Amino acid sequence: MEHFSVLKEESVSLLSEVNGTIYVDGTLGRGGHAGELLKRIPDCHLYAFDKDATALRESMEHLAPYRERITLFHEDFRKMKECLQESGINRVDGILLDLGVSSPQFDDPERGFSYRFDTRLDMRMDQSQSLSAYEVVNEYSFQQLESILRRYGEEPRARAIARAIEKARLNQPIETTGQLSDVIRSALPESVLRKKGHPAKQAFQAIRIEVNHELDALQEGLEQACSLLKVGGRCAVITFHSLEDRMVKNFFKQKSSAPFADPKLPLKESQMEQASFSLVTKHPITANEEELETNRRSHSAKLRVIERVKDDGD
């Protein structure tokens, strides 16, 4: 299946307005956003991260014309600051984070991300790590399973699904995505099974987030990204589900809010401490009608952008 980068025009346009020389793509994938950024800003150098070795390898075919202007890291973007500093980079002009699982990962049956294929449970973005969906499903306690289903999947029937998994694996391990999907279905009432959409979607999301520590990585990545930005530099983040978007929204709001000042103090506006960041996007940008028609993955995508306006010495 052909891969389309979500919100590519909108995100690259907002980042290229900075017209800087040093950019970071924290989630390189197949290089769609990166290629467009390198094309639009001929003088920039891109530092690109991805914990999926396959993505790094395959992106190089698309990015071959720009190879001399790219530095690759087979790392999670939560390590971007450490890796950049080792390369002598302390400040950057722009950072892009395109979160979640890429279409090629979903569409590869061997990766075990999707309930569309009956294949071994995996869901690892970094295939060198030991923890996979198989261990989560077969080794986590009932309490752990219920917690991740409720927290990461916002699954209202987390307890019933966790009980069903616990019961099923007593007979034999749950080894495939198809087996897991059947167990989840068995825990749900007919009223839920008749609803539009796959009944295992939220549970699969929760397990995937746990396997890849996605929300922990996002929190660390956002903190590092903002600390790396030059004055005038921007960080653009594309999210695909409510948990991610809520985290980004709240983090950006906190960063762009001025420190509390006692209204009783006789301070002029010029004397009040200002926030170090400003929201470029007051509301999230979503896909236009043309993209919605050609790229089904864009339906849930939201883009938020923040800009550093003051150097606070971090």
Domain count, the chain: 2
Q: How many CB atoms lie within 10 A of CB 258?
A: 10
Mark which of 180, 210, 240 sits at the end of a domain.
210
Structural domain includes residue 155: yes
Q: The tokens of 177 are what?
A: 């995505």
Q: Are residues 268 and 254 in the same domain?
A: yes
Which pLDDT does position 102 carry in this prediction?
79
pLDDT of residue 1: 42
One domain, residues 249 and 183: no
Block residue for tokens 């030059």: 230
Indicate if 60 and 147 belong to the same structural domain: no
Mark whether 100 and 45 lie in a shared domain: yes
Q: Which of 307, 311, 312, 213 is closest to 252 using CA atoms?
A: 307
**pTM, to two decimals:** 0.91
**CA proximity to 204, closest of 78, 77, 293, 117:** 117
**Residue 190 sits in a domain of what CATH number?**
1.10.150.170
Instruction: Going from the first residue of the chain to its last (314 residues), give the mean pLDDT of each consecutive group of 10, the final group possibly shorter.
Output: 79 95 96 95 96 91 94 96 97 96 80 89 94 98 98 96 98 96 96 90 96 96 97 97 96 87 56 83 95 89 96 73
pLDDT of residue 77: 96
pLDDT at 250 (0 to 100):
97
Residues 218 and 195 in one domain: no
Q: Which domain holds residue 51?
A: 8-104+214-308
Per-residue pLDDT, 266: 60
State residue 302's pLDDT score: 97
| Cα separation values, 305 from 3, 13, 249, 276, Å | 24, 11, 10, 14
Q: 41 burial class (0-12, 13-18, 19+ CB within 10 angstroms)?
A: buried
Please tell me whether residues 137 and 152 are part of one structural domain: yes
Residue 3, amino acid: H
Q: Which residue spans within the chain are E strands per DSSP?
A: 22-25, 45-49, 70-73, 92-98, 229-239, 277-279, 302-308
Around 34, how many Cα atoms within 13 Å sit in the side-chain half-sphere?
Answer: 32
Buried b (16+ CB within 10 A) or exposed e, 264-282: eeeeeeeeeeebbbbbbbe
Residue 299 lies in a domain: yes
289 shares its domain with 301: yes
Q: Are residue 52 and residue 121 in the same domain, yes or no?
A: no
Q: What integer pLDDT is reported at residue 113 of this predicted model?
A: 87
User: Do 297 and 159 lie in a common domain?
Assistant: no
Structural domain includes residue 137: yes
Specify whether 120 is located in the same domain as 264: no
Is residue 313 included in any domain, yes or no?
Answer: no
- Containing H/E element for 11? helix 8-16
- Provide the CATH number for the domain around residue 74: 3.40.50.150
Residues 167 and 256 in one domain: no
Asked which of 190, 210, 230 is the last residue of a domain, the reply is 210
Instruction: Please identify, among 210, 230, 256, the residue that sits at the C-terminal boundary of a domain.
Output: 210
Within a domain: 1? no
